[in-house]
Structures are given as C-alpha cells and as structure tokens.
Structure 1
Amino acid sequence: MTSSRLQAEISKPGANHAGVARRVAGQPRLIPEILNGLEADQARTKYGCLKVLRLLSEQRPELLYPHFDRFAGLLDSNNNILKWGGIIIIGNLAAMDSGNQIDRLLERYLQPISGPALITAANTIVGAGKVATAKPHLAERILRALLQVENATYQTPECRNVAIGHVLNSLALLIDQVCDHREVLDFVRRQTRNRRNAVKTRAAKLLRKLEKSAPGKPVSS
C-alpha cells in the first residue's frame, strides 16, 4: 500500500512516536491513517503505527474505542507482533467499553493463557488484569482463566513459572475482589513454593497483602 506522509514520518529511524501520538490525540481525524499503517508492507511503518496506537490506548483510550473492531481483528493475526499489540490495546480500552464488546469476545481474548506461546500468554494475562479491574462483572470468568495457568502447556516448565509470575501481578491489581476467594488464596500459597525465586518472593508478598485485606472475612470458593 502507498505510505502517507504521516506514515513516512513514523517509519523514519529514530522517529518520535510519542510526539506523533500527542499530535494524533489533538487531531483524531488522523487515527484512520495510523490504523491503515498496520497493513503497510514496510515493517518499520507497520510496527511504528502499532506503537503510536499503543501509546494512544494508554493516554486517550476514548479516541480509539470507536475502532474497537480493528483491534479485535488483530487477535487472530498471523503476525505475532500485531497480535500482541491487539491484546495490549484491548486491555487498555476496557475502561471505555460501554458497549460491552470485550464481554462478547472474552473467551477468545483469554484463550492464549492456555499456551503454548509464552509471550502471547503473558500479554493476555496483563491485559486480563486490566479488564477485570475495569469490568468487575467479568472478574470471576477472568480469574478462572488465570488460575488455569498451572495446567497450561508452554515450551518449558520454566515458561509456565514465568506466566505464573504474571498472573500474580494481575491478581495484585484485584486485591479487594480476590482477598476472600479460596481458590485464589490456595493458588498464591502454592506459589510460595515455586521453583522460580522471583515468583516465590512475589507470591509471599501478595499472600501477606491478601491476608491483611481479609481479616475475619469468610472465604468464598
């Protein structure tokens, strides 16, 4: 496809993607031009446009929400970098999801947690934590998927431990929602014996926070 002037700027070596994102935030009519850049033949253009969109999703998610379907389509991309970008952006758009579009694709969104690709799973776990924070009515479904990470099939057992570490980080965002959840507490306790030291330490810290947040609360299953 023919590159626009804006796409050409984005694809330059050392391009100021943050500056472009700020400009686009002030001129939302430019967003379709950035979206079209995801289909560019030149990798630098494609991934530069993706970076601008990621920044916009963090800073001005309301500007990207009308284009939600474009990002949902990236979940099925054969290009892993675009897929990861779609996963991250959808997580950032969760707080804007007045149309409950994430609700309708949640199972598809969470599927990578089961493996086999660690990076795809890790990005999904991070995004899922953001979704559960923004949309508490989805938290139970998301928790079920996160807790299945122990049974996921990745390239190696160590990859699974890395994924478990990401799950602990996402659970830390949901302290008030999970502090009295028996399955979550049992999961975190098991990870205090994880073979990966960083995960073990993270689990112990999270367990202390959970127990402090739920003194005397009845534990739910």
Structure 2
Amino acid sequence: MKSKYELDQKDINIEELAKKALSDDKLPKELMDGILSKDNTTRKNCFETLQIISNEKPEILYPKWDHFHKMFKSKNNYHKYIAVYILADLTKIDKDNKFNDMFEDYYRILAGDKVMTASHVALNSSKIAINKPELQEEIIERLINIENIHQGKQKELLKAYAIESLREIYPEIKDKEKVMKFIEEQLESSSPKTRDLAACFIERCE
C-alpha cells in the first residue's frame, strides 16, 4: 500500500518530514519500516529523516535501540551503515550504557577488511568519544592504530576518516602529543586525501 507521506518521492523535503515526525505518531513507524525498504529512494529518504531526528531529538528513537542494533548485526551492508550512524547519535542519551555493551562489536568493523563500512565507524567515532568520555581513550587508540587494526587494503584512505574524527575531539584529548605524532606521520601517506587532511589538522590544531 502506498504511503500517504510519499516517502518514495525524490524531491521530498527531508527537513519538513522530520518536523512532522515530531507530532505525527504514525510517521516514525513508517520511517522505521522505510529504512528496510528495497526501494532506494524510500530507504534514503527515511534514513536521512531519521538522521535529523536522532541528531536533534534522540530521545524519540532511543526506545528503538534494539531495532537499530538488529540492523547493525545484519549481513546487509546498507542496513549496517544506517545503524552505524543512528547508534552513534543515540549515544548522546544512552543512559543505560547500551553502546558500552556493544563497543567491541562496533569497532570490530574498523578491524574488518571493508573500507566502506570501516570508514563510517571512524567518521562517527568523534560523536561517540564526545558522548561517552569514558570510552574516549580507547576510541583514540583504535583510530591512531588503524595501520595495525584494519585488515583491508585501503588503510591509507581509512586514516583520512580517522583524522577527521580526531580533529573534532582534539580540544578534549589529554595526550595530544601522541595524536599529533600520528597526524604528522600521515603527511607522508600514499593517499592524497589523507595527506591533505593531516596538513589541515596541523595548521588548525598546532
């Protein structure tokens, strides 16, 4: 049955949809169903709308943690990708420390061989490190040791995403010298993107 919210329309206003979801009890359920849709447009629209909600009103989606956790464990890489982002946002209000319990599972993706999913874990690490200060030191260790952790062939590119996260949390990092050493080493990276981000990091943070 076709959704009355026209979630399959390419020109839908995502911002307006997210606002509507705050007052319409039925829309959040349709969005949750929509992220599992086989239709690419529907899935994309629902994900982007839920991202706005998880970022601005995470308390609305926190009760659905188990649903996203199930998606995270899916063999479907797009489902996993969605969960990586939403769960990172939800750590902001994770009063039950559900993320702490799945920490190793989350960062096992970083240690895998698929740069596509690993890069999103690296990129979302800044949110988690800010929202979960008790995990910050361990997260930083994982990011600066990607060379030894990641099993894929594109380690140099993955380091670029680690640098982006480290730049976000740098003001809060206690051992800045250790992190800066990692950044300086990336000035010699074989990845142009990683080299550029390392240079930008040093320019802004030194």
Q: Is 1:5 the equivalent of 2:4?
A: yes
Identify the residue that residue 173 of structure 2 maps to in structure 1: 178
Bigger radius of gyration, 1 or 2?
Answer: 1
What CA deviation, in whole Å up to 9, does each residue of 1:118-168 have, x standing for no partner?
Answer: 1201111111111001111110121122123112222x3xx3222101101
Identify the residue that residue 127 of structure 1 maps to in structure 2: 124
Identify the residue that residue 146 of structure 2 maps to in structure 1: 149
Cα offset, 1:85, TM superposition: 1.0
Q: Which of 86, 90, 93 pairs up with 2:87?
A: 90
What SS does the corresponding residue of 2:9 show, helix, strand or coil?
A: coil
Query: AA paired with 1:88?
Result: Y
Q: Please list, as runs of the form range in 1=range in 2, the aligned pairs for 1:61-210 lying within 5 A after superposition.
A: 61-151=58-148, 152-154=150-152, 156=153, 159-178=154-173, 180-207=175-202, 209-210=204-205
1-structure distance, mates of 2:86, 2:174: 28
- Give the alignment's TM-score, normalised by structure 2: 0.87
1-structure distance, mates of 2:195, 2:78: 30
Decide whether the 8 Å contact of 1:10 with 1:20 is kept in 2: no
Structure 1 stretches of 4+ moved >4 Å: 208-211
Cα offset, 1:24, TM superposition: 0.2
Cα gap change, 1:209/1:4 in structure 2, threshold over 3 Å: closer, same or farther?
Answer: closer
Cα offset, 1:29, TM superposition: 5.0
2-structure distance, mates of 1:173, 1:13: 32
1-structure distance, mates of 2:136, 2:11: 40
Decide whether the 8 Å contact of 2:170 with 2:176 is kept in 1: no
What SS does the corresponding residue of 2:27 show, helix, strand or coil?
A: helix
Cα gap change, 1:114/1:86 in structure 2, threshold over 3 Å: closer, same or farther?
Answer: same
State the percentage of identical aligned residues: 24
2-structure distance, mates of 1:143, 1:28: 39
What SS does the corresponding residue of 2:110 show, helix, strand or coil?
A: helix
What CA deviation, in whole Å up to 9, does each residue of 1:65-102 have, x standing for no partner?
Answer: 12111111111122222211110111112211122111
- Structure 2 segments unaligned to the other structure (5+ residues): none
Cα offset, 1:210, TM superposition: 4.9
1-structure distance, mates of 2:132, 2:188: 31
Identify the residue that residue 219 of structure 1 maps to in structure 2: none
Query: AA paired with 1:131?
Result: I
- Give the alignment's TM-score, normalised by structure 1: 0.82
Decide whether the 8 Å contact of 1:75 with 1:83 is kept in 2: yes
Cα gap change, 1:179/1:21 in structure 2, threshold over 3 Å: closer, same or farther?
Answer: same
Decide whether the 8 Å contact of 2:92 with 2:131 is kept in 1: yes
Q: Please list, as runs of the form range in 1=range in 2, the aligned pairs for 1:39-78 lying within 5 A after superposition.
A: 39-78=36-75
Decide whether the 8 Å contact of 2:157 with 2:193 is kept in 1: no
